[in-house]
Amino acid sequence: MPDSLIFGLVGGLIVAGIVAFLAYRASGRDEDQDDLEDDDARPVERKPKRGLFGGFGFSFGLGRPTAPPAVEKRSQKVAGWRKEIEEACGATGLIKTDAVAWIAPLIIDGHKRGSDDHTIASKISGWGNALCEEDKAKLGVRADAKLGREYVEALTRKGRKRPLAAAYFVVQRATHAHSQSERLKHLRTDEHVDGVEIIATEGALTCLAAQGIEGQVFEPEKAPALPLRRCDAESCRCVYQGIETAPVSVRRAAAR
């Protein structure tokens, strides 16, 4: 075989390798985007990317395996909120707990976008095909109210009495529970915090459960979750407050 032909083949393979590598780099740029950016916040399973020459995820050995389906990544994020959202549905008694499957992604996506609780609640309450005016009249809401059929079907008997407010109370309670859960984790790792106190809303909005522990200081690891188990407020406003129970002199002596 002539040397010129050999050099031509080798050169062609090198060029093909470079092109394949560039294609590999370009294909990976969009894989790290957050999977909750789709408007309807439902799982979307993506097709595996093809390599330069038709292979799935590889080109001359320079590619990489196809990333896990978007639904798997989404399920991990939903799991972190599921407890709070299920508790919110159960505590308020306004929305059935089996609706968590589609409510959770909407709440997570809304907070990722920086939406407030009212905006997220509006999206939830409008989920599904729009109700006709006749159905709205049966629920006792105004004709221009935006209510989705899937949302209305998820309401409990108690929730149907307050269809416009039910979504907000669930979102607010779940959001507040999640934020306070994260705050408690932080307090438990703060070396300056020896105790945790639960600060309740003053006045008529304070629930009976919060009144019963007013002024009590808990060990960080033993502080009860918020909202409290017997919280009877529609919107929990209790927060964790870190307490330094040991004097500075005692703390310094213990550190020696």
Q: What is the pLDDT of residue 229?
A: 83
Examine the pLDDT at 14 and tell me if it is beyond 60: yes
pLDDT at 86 over 90: no
The predicted structure's pLDDT at residue 163 = 93
Whether the predicted pLDDT of 156 surpasses 80? yes
Mean pLDDT of the chain: 75
SS3 label, residue 29: coil
Ranges of each domain in the chain: 3-67, 69-177, 190-256
Whole-number Å distance between alpha carbons of 43 and 35:
8
The least confident of 3-7, 101-105, 199-203 is 3-7
Copy the structure tokens of residue 49. Answer: 């990317």
Q: How confident is the model over 196-203, as a mean pLDDT?
A: 82
Cα pseudo-dihedral 154, 157, 163, 165, rounded to 10: -100
Query: In angstroms, rounded to a whole number, what is the distance separating the alpha carbons of residues 245 and 192?
Result: 9
Whether omega before 227 lies within 30 degrees of 0, making that bond cis, reads yes
What pLDDT shows up at residue 245?
66
Of residues 157 and 92, more confidently modeled: 157
**What are the pLDDT digits (tens) for 29-53?**
444 444 434 444 444 434 444 444 4
Distance CA 224, CA 220 (A): 9
Over 60: is that where the pLDDT of 185 sits? yes
At 63, is the pLDDT very low, low, confident or very high (cuts 50, 70, 90)?
Answer: very low
Q: Encode pLDDT of 217-244 as tens digits.
A: 999 999 998 888 888 887 888 999 999 8
